[in-house]
């Protein structure tokens, strides 16, 4: 589907604003030492929301806080989403994975379109911009774009954890000068012992007012304990989230 000239002009203007928004930041001279990156073991792919997904409570309204910008360690790299215009920083030892449309609700199919035709239209419209995942150490950060609200076109994050105990938890995260409450859970399986990440892990979700969904937590990496994840990986994941700047 060939975009008309007004759409191209609007898209170019939006990308220009995104580039300006994701420009200068406050930096501190701190050398980041990334943890060794394990083989990719957690890539969100599916065409429909599995029944094992546990809905998380909504995020409370943001509270403005004084800030001069995110703190970015020296040497971190900038990622900018080409369509939605948001950006964030990540350590050089991390891996970025992008994903696009994997399916759509059946009731959304336009009259006169076949499913394959509409799927092609959606893929041409969104490309690989709907879900962006940063894999770092024994954890991950996944950003689901506003157009993918409630995983409408692609699952972007954890899809299930197994059988065990889930304890709710929350924490305050400052994003773009506003404080939000990220909510999620710590999971402990039924195995004994249960100290490695496939059995003991966490998932946290931050919902922004524009329907951007940021999920971060422990990936099911074998041989890494939950205690190691808390000490070496989790602080970096939180810092990645705090550098997030929404698009225009």
Q: How far apart are CA 124 and CA 31, in angstroms?
A: 40
Per-residue pLDDT tens over the stretch 94-147: 999 999 999 999 999 999 999 999 999 999 999 999 999 999 999 999 999 999
pLDDT value at 53 more than 60: no
* Mean pLDDT to the nearest integer, 191-211: 96
Name the residue ranges covered by the structural domains of the chain.
5-242
CB count in 10 Å sphere of residue 178? 16
Per-residue pLDDT tens over the stretch 23-42: 544 333 333 333 343 333 33
CB count in 10 Å sphere of residue 130? 26
Per the structure block, which two tokens stand in for 54?
A: 């546990």
Q: How far apart are CA 18 and CA 33, in angstroms?
A: 29
Q: How far apart are CA 122 and CA 126, in angstroms?
A: 6
pTM of the model: 0.75
Per the structure block, which two tokens stand in for 51?
A: 């029944």
Provide the 3-class DSSP secondary structure of residue 245: strand
Question: CA 176, 133, 158, 116: dihedral to nearest 10 degrees?
Answer: 110
Per-residue pLDDT tens over the stretch 167-192: 999 999 999 999 999 999 999 999 99
- 154 Cβ neighbours under 8 A, 6+ residues apart: 44, 46, 99, 100, 101, 102, 103, 130, 131, 144, 148
């Amino acid at each position: 589907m060939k975009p008309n000239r007004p759409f191209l002009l609007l898209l170019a203007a939006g990308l220009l604003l995104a580039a300006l928004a994701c420009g200068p930041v406050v930096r501190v001279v701190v050398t980041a030492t990334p943890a060794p990156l394990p083989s990719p073991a957690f890539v969100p792919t599916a065409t429909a929301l599995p029944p094992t997904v546990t809905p998380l409570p909504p995020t409370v309204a943001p509270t403005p806080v004084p800030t001069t910008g995110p703190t970015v360690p020296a040497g971190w790299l900038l990622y900018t989403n080409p369509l939605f215009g948001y950006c964030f920083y990540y350590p050089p030892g991390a891996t970025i994975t992008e994903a696009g449309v994997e399916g759509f609700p059946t009731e959304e199919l336009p009259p006169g379109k076949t499913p394959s035709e509409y799927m092609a239209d959606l893929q041409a419209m969104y490309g690989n911009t709907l879900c962006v995942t940063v894999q770092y150490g024994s954890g991950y950060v996944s950003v689901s774009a506003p157009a993918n609200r409630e995983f409408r076109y692609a699952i972007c994050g954890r899809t299930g954890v197994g059988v065990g105990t889930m304890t709710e938890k929350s924490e305050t995260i400052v994003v773009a000068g506003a404080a939000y409450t990220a909510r999620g859970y710590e999971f402990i399986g039924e195995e004994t012992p249960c100290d490695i990440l496939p059995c003991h892990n966490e998932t946290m979700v931050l919902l922004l007012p524009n329907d951007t969904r940021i999920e971060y937590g422990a990936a099911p990496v074998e041989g890494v304990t939950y205690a190691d994840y808390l000490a070496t990986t989790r602080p970096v994941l939180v810092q990645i989230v705090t550098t997030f700047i929404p698009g225009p």
